[in-house]
Structure 1
């Protein structure tokens, strides 16, 4: 073997060792947070950078648990859930507690509560929808209205409403998937510009849009009859392995301090509103 080849072989061996060493260190982080760009849950840039309420949740846990090491990894949401389902060591800060599509994860106690999805549309379309389908809106009837165009972000699913979309709208001429970064925000611009008529999302998404994109957007939020009386339970979800169970135990030890944290509560007030459902 020539000297140059020996150097290449040595460099390759050292690189492999370094790779496995860094992976090993990451495996032993006390808390590894997987966060994705999804305003106002997590905000990666702009006027409110790192001021999402899930950013505030992570920061609060870091303050409450200074004895632990905390690593934050920015990843697409699909990548985060895929890694967790493969039992890689990771915690997703803001998940719907016990959701059927993520039922295998370990969850902390409830960290916050908020209202379920509703319809976001223009004021003129809102009046039309209310006139035909009531308030709160009978969604099972609305989805059969062939005169209204609907769109949803490609990675978003809507729980008990999703089967209605799949039965009546998906694959129809009145349905579109919107992909790309911040698809849920771009979709609201499409509603304002009359390219589509309505979507389903949380009221907080409209709040963020009005704060950052178009203050006088004229968008309206309508509650859905099928969700009447429903409250969403937010929690931290961690991988279903011993590391994840240990992480959840650590987080639960300071859950009361988190819920009393004024910075976290201020962020919830800002994006979810002061009339949001409160945690006991």
Structure 2
């Protein structure tokens, strides 16, 4: 056991030695509340705070932010000759060809849902406390759905979207995709907008859109986990190995939990917090069992 721990330490040290002279280049987006560029909450975005927290454990490793439109981010990450990294990514089969991922998650949140006008809820006789079928809702009522270009919502939801008529989907590129879509929703240019609860909550508050609400989806897992992805080259693989070492302890800290809960309304904070508490307890239990066996 001591030999194994020594070997693991050596492997980690070698990895760190190879990467410390090459700073981490993080891709960021103008995508509140994950990155907040220009607002009273500037710098308080969830993902940018996770990056800062991660580098408190990697204190001698420099890092830089490189901002891209959402429509270009995955392309740049996948095809950079030097290497980029990006936090909070879904793992998909197509992306794995060009992106190498951490084994441990970097972010955890509630799965995507729909933002819609309250009048639509009343008109269709929906109950916001009960999840709906995205496909049935759109096909039955001929609704239009707004989504961000080049964004994955998880493999299950991505496959559902593929089944929808193309003329009922509005795909928005650019820097502030979700805010643009939310504005279109307020102005009745789309009927539904797909995104995460924290995104909908932040934007409805920012835009003063009191006529909007949220509803969850059938067939989508309650929790969505995001991973760190780096360009799939030798440098990226070393960076991912280093991040995995740090994430094991990072996700158990109170600072991490506060960041995950920051941009949620109270009733959804409670739901996610229960998951975070249970996950920490499960992880600690697994560690104790492993120690007993050794």
TM-score class, shorter:
0.7 to 0.9
Superposition pairs of residues 86-235 of structure 1, within 5 angstroms: 86=79, 88=81, 89-96=83-90, 98-104=91-97, 105-108=99-102, 109-129=104-124, 131=126, 135-158=130-153, 159-170=155-166, 172=167, 174-214=168-208, 217-227=210-220, 229-235=221-227
User: Aligned-residue CA RMSD in angstroms?
Assistant: 2.8
- CA distance in 2 between counterparts of 1:139 and 1:60 reads 36
> How far apart are residue 111 of structure 1 and its match?
2.1
TM-score, normalising length: structure 1: 0.78
1:152, 1:176 within 8 Å by CA — same for their partners in 2? yes
> How far apart are residue 208 of structure 1 and its match?
0.8
Match of 1:79 among 52, 68, 72: 72
Sort the Cα spacing of 1:41 and 1:132 in 2 relative to 1 into closer, same or farther, 3 A. closer
Partner of 1:243: 235
Correspondence 1:62 to 2:40: no
* Moved segments of 4+, more than 6 Å: none
> How far apart are residue 250 of structure 1 and its match?
1.5
* Larger Rg computed on CA atoms: 1
- CA distance in 1 between counterparts of 2:84 and 2:93 reads 19
Correspondence 1:269 to 2:261: yes
My pick for the range that moved more, 161-170 or 101-110, is 161-170
Gaps of 5+ in 1: 1-25
- CA distance in 1 between counterparts of 2:84 and 2:177 reads 25
Sort the Cα spacing of 1:138 and 1:42 in 2 relative to 1 into closer, same or farther, 3 A. same
TM-score, normalising length: structure 2: 0.75
- CA distance in 2 between counterparts of 1:253 and 1:133 reads 41
2:144, 2:191 within 8 Å by CA — same for their partners in 1? yes
